[in-house]
Chain A
Amino acid sequence: MRQRFVEKIIHGLLFGCACVSILASLGIVLVLAVESVLFFKKVSLWEFLTAKEWTPLFVDKHFGIMPLVCGTLVTSLIAMLVALPIGLTIAIYLSEFASSKLRKTLKPTLEILAGIPTIVYGYFALVFVTPFLQKLLPSLSTFNALSAGLVMGIMILPLVASLSEDALHTLPGSLRDASFALGATRMQMVFRVLVPAGFGGIVASFILAVSRAVGETMIVAIAAGQQPRLTLDPRGPIQTMTAYIVQISLGDTPHGTLEYHTIFVVGATLFVMTLAMNSISLRIRERFRNTYA
Chain B
Amino acid sequence: MMQKRKAAIGGALESLFKFFALLCVSIAMLTLICLLVNIIADGFPRLTWQFFTGFPSRFPEKAGAAPAIAGSFYLIVLTALITLPMGIGAAIYLEEYAPNNKLTRFIELNIANLAGVPSIIFGLLGLQIFVRWAGFGRSLLAGALTMAILVLPIIVLASREALRTVPPSIRDASLALGATKWQTTWAQVLPLAFPGILTGCILAFSRALGETAPLVTLGALTYVPFLPTGPFSAFTVLPIQAFNWTSRPQAAFQHNAAAAILVLLAILLTLNSVAVWLRNRCQGKLRL
Contact = CB atoms under 8 A, between A and B. Distances in A.
Interface string B23-66: 01101110110110011001000000000000000000000000
B257 A123 contact: yes
Given A89-B20, A124-B35, A128-B35, A242 B120 contact: yes
Given A93-B21, A217-B118, 18 more contacts: A10-B182, A15-B93, A16-B89, A17-B92, A18-B93, A106-B25, A117-B211, A117-B239, A118-B212, A120-B242, A121-B35, A123-B254, A124-B35, A245-B217, A250-B216, A270-B120, A274-B117, A274-B118
Contact of B210 (A117, A128, A187): A117
Contact of A119 (B97, B125, B239): B239
A265 to B, nearest CB: 10
Contacts of B85: 17
Interface string A1-20: 00100110011011111111
A264 B24 contact: no
A214 B118 contact: yes
Nearest to A87: B24
A237 B242 CA distance: 22
23 contacts: A6-B182, A7-B180, A10-B182, A14-B92, A18-B98, A21-B110, A21-B152, A22-B106, A24-B152, A97-B14, A97-B21, A109-B28, A116-B265, A120-B210, A123-B257, A124-B38, A128-B34, A217-B118, A267-B121, A270-B118, A270-B121, A275-B117, A282-B112
When A and B form their complex, which 3 residue pairs have the shortest distance between CB atoms, in order from nearest?
Answer: A215-B118, A117-B210, A185-B10
Contact of B180 (A3, A119, A120, A188): A3
Given A31-B129, A113-B32, A123 B261 contact: yes
B216 A17 contact: no
Interface of A: 3, 6-7, 10-11, 13-22, 24-25, 27-28, 31-32, 35, 85-86, 89-90, 92-93, 97, 106, 109-110, 112-113, 115-124, 126-128, 154, 157, 185-188, 208, 211, 214-218, 221-222, 242, 245-246, 249-250, 255, 263-264, 267, 270-271, 274-275, 278-279, 282
Contacts of B89: 13-14, 16-18
B102 interface: no
B119 A17 contact: no
A25 B246 contact: no
Interface in B1-20: 6-7, 10-11, 13-14, 17-18, 20
Contacts of B124: 28, 31-32, 245, 263-264, 267
A245 B123 CA distance: 10
Contact of B117 (A154, A157, A245, A271): A271
B75 interface: no
A110 B117 CA distance: 23
Nearest to B251: A127
B106 to A, nearest CB: 8
B153 to A, nearest CB: 7
Given A24-B152, A31-B125, A222-B243, A120 B120 contact: no
Interface residue range, chain B: 35 or more
B120 A97 contact: no
A175 B92 CA distance: 38
B111 interface: yes
Contacts of B156: 21
Interface of B: 6-7, 10-11, 13-14, 17-18, 20-22, 24-25, 27-29, 31-32, 34-35, 38-39, 42, 85-90, 92-94, 97-98, 106-107, 110-114, 116-125, 127-129, 132, 149, 152-153, 156, 180-182, 206-207, 209-213, 216-219, 222, 239, 242-243, 246-247, 254, 257-258, 261, 264-265, 268, 272
A119 B243 contact: yes
Contacts of A19: 107
B24 A89 contact: yes
Contacts of A92: 21
A123 B119 CA distance: 19
A10 B89 CA distance: 10
A27 B212 contact: no
